[in-house]
Amino acid sequence: MKRRSMIAAVAMTLAALTTAVPALAQSGWPNKPIKFMNPFPAGGGTDAFARPLAAKLSQSLGQQVIVENMGGAGGTVGASAAAKQAGDGYTFFIGAIHHTIAESLYPKLSYNLRQDFIPITVLGSVPNAVVVHPKTGFKTMDDLIKFAKANPGKLNYGSAGSGASHHIAAEMFKKMAGIDMTHVPYKGIGPMMQDLLAGQIDLAFDGMASSSPQIKGGKIIPLAVTSTKRSNVIPDVPTLQELGYKDYELTTWYAIWGIKGTPPEIINRMHAEVVKAMNDPDLKKIWEAQSATAGGQSPKEFEAFINNEITKWAKVIKDAGIKIDN
């Protein structure tokens, strides 16, 4: 009898130790630098959220958080590379609305957004703005539309790549307004903005995260915003809905995912740290300067949001007949 009791006690102790292993492993995280993979070149809208967040998390986690940029194909090249990383809690993916669009726009992706990544939360959402180079002489959307109708295909607009929200935003507007413009895809918003500032392209349907500094500096001119409400950064600029395009709405959002296989404890810890960082006064000011609405949804809520976005954009792309042109 005594022997059985001893065996039972030993078994219970072993079970307790086994249960404690994940907690012990998690308690040591992070014990080395963390990498944020950004699938666009430096200087774009994703960077505008990823880098301030990385700096804040470096302080709170006690380990450096590094942002690694890798542009190409509307963010799908970097997403593919991120999907191949180890799910050990030391690599995270900073993606965007573009990746829910890509699921139906690109016929062959080497990754699956819902299978290869673990949702954590949305970082922020920003309206896109129709911005033009001063050389165009456009002061209003009416100016742009009149010129485009009189000169089919002559205006060229830039985007972060085929399938990026900037591309879809322009194609949606082309269809509604009955105009033709030429798409010039780049490997990210950084390179696109350089050419827009230089007057190499005429306009863009760019996110406020990357456009607002250039608008404030008078280097590009905003004609309209794509959200249902005006931007607090450029409150005098009308929405496209106000200008008569009642069904037009597009807001660009940016988010963070874990890599498949990342332990749930680390996903939950990162979610908590990100939400805490976004409530910091310094980050709040940065978000506000970009006309951004902060995220913070739970991983489950974000997962449901992703599913809805993939379905939504698949219908938009099909109905508008949008195709990749490069």
Residue 294 has pLDDT above 50, yes or no: yes
Q: What is the biggest distance separating any 2 CA atoms in the chain, rounded to whole angstroms?
A: 97
CA 223, CA 131: separation in Å to the nearest integer? 6
Contact 128, 166 (CB under 8 A): yes
Picking from 100-114, 181-195, 222-236, 312-326, which range would have the lowest pLDDT averaged per residue? 312-326
CA 188, CA 172: separation in Å to the nearest integer? 20
Task: Tell me what pLDDT residue 70 has.
Answer: 94
User: Both tokens of residue 62?
Assistant: 């006690």
Sorting pLDDT into bands at 50, 70 and 90, what band is 86? very high
Q: Does domain 27-126+252-320 have CATH number 3.40.190.150?
A: yes
Residue 7 has pLDDT above 50, yes or no: no
Strands 203-207 and 117-132: what pairing?
Answer: antiparallel
CATH code: domain 127-225 is: 3.40.190.10
More confident residue, 69 or 209: 69
Sequence spans of domains, the chain:
1-26, 27-126+252-320, 127-225
CATH fold match for the domains 27-126+252-320 and 127-225: yes
CB atoms within 10 A of CB 78: 27
Query: Which residues face 293 on adjacent strands?
Result: 125
Task: Tell me what pLDDT residue 325 has.
Answer: 53
